[in-house]
Amino acid sequence: MSEPVKIETVRSKALLKVENIETYYGKVAALKGISFEVHDKQIVTLLGSNGAGKSTTLKTVSGLTPASVGRITFMGEDITRVSAHSIVERGLIHVPEGRRIFKNLTVRENLELGSFTLKDSIERKRRVQNVFDRFPILGQRYKQLGGTLSGGEQQMLAIGRGLMAGPKLLLLDEPSMGLAPLIVAEISRIIRSLNDEGTTILLVEQNSKMALNLAGYGYVLDTGHIVLEGEGSDLKNNDKIIKAYLGGE
C-alpha cells in the first residue's frame, strides 16, 4: 500500500497520536498500519465507506478493541495497553455508534453513570446542570426513561453522558446516524458549539458533507488503510475524493 496522499499543514504537538496501528478481529485485519494525529481544540474527522475501519479506529483508541501492533499516545502518555476504564479516567471519552444509552434508566440516571469516575457529588450535580443547560429538552425530561426519547434526544443524551466525564478528547461515532435532516443540523450545531468552547473532537461520520463542514482536518480510510488526509476545506472541495472514497455525496 502506497503512502496516503497528504494535503499538508503545519500543526502543533499532538494531543492524540496513533502510530502504525494494526487491529484484528480473529485473523482478519481491520486496521492495517494506520497513523494519524489529533491536536488540541481541533475537530478531526475520519471518513470512508462502510467497513473502511472508522468505528474500529475509535474502539482501538478508547481501548475497547486493543491494537495488536503499533502505539497510541494521549497527552504524551502511551495508552496502547491501558484498559478502557483507565483511558476514561484520563479524559478520553468515547460516544459509540448507535447511542447505547440505558433505555430502562431515566435521563438523569444515564447522565450520572457518565460520571462514574467522579467522587465529588457537588461537581456531579454541577455537570448534570451543565448538560441540562446545553440540552434543555433533557432537563425537561430528566425523569423519563431513556427508551422513551426520540432518536435525536437519545443522541443528545449520549453526548451529554460523554460530557459528564469531563472529556479532554471526545470521540463521536456516527452522531447523525438515522436522524432527520433538521435533527442532523442541530447535532452539527452542538458539535460546533462544544468545539468553540474548547472540546477537542475526533468525529466518525458517514455524512461526509456534515463532517467536512465541521472538521479542520480529515483522514479518509479505505479497507483499513488511510489513503488520504488534508484540511477539511480542501477535502470537501475535491470532487475526485468525494467520488472515489465517499460515495459521491
| pLDDT tens string 43-90 | 999 998 888 999 999 999 999 999 999 999 999 999 999 999 999 999
Percent of the chain residues past pLDDT 70, beyond the cut: 92
Percent of the chain residues past pLDDT 90, beyond the cut: 78
pLDDT score at 4: 56
Going along the chain from its start, the domains and CATH numbers come out as 1-91+167-249 (3.40.50.300), 99-166 (no CATH)
8 — pLDDT class (breaks 50, 70, 90): very low
pLDDT score at 92: 97
The pLDDT tens digits of the residues spanning 186-233 come to: 999 999 999 999 999 999 988 888 999 999 999 999 999 999 999 998
244 — pLDDT class (breaks 50, 70, 90): low
Statement: residue 124 has pLDDT above 70: yes
> Of the given ranges (4-8, 184-188, 232-236), which has the lowest mean pLDDT?
4-8
> What mean pLDDT is predicted for residues 231-242?
82
pLDDT score at 231: 94
pLDDT score at 99: 76
pLDDT score at 178: 87
* pTM of the shown model: 0.90
The pLDDT tens digits of the residues spanning 138-171 come to: 999 999 999 999 999 999 999 999 999 999 999 9
Statement: residue 237 has pLDDT above 90: no
Alpha carbon distance 37, 143 (integer Å): 40
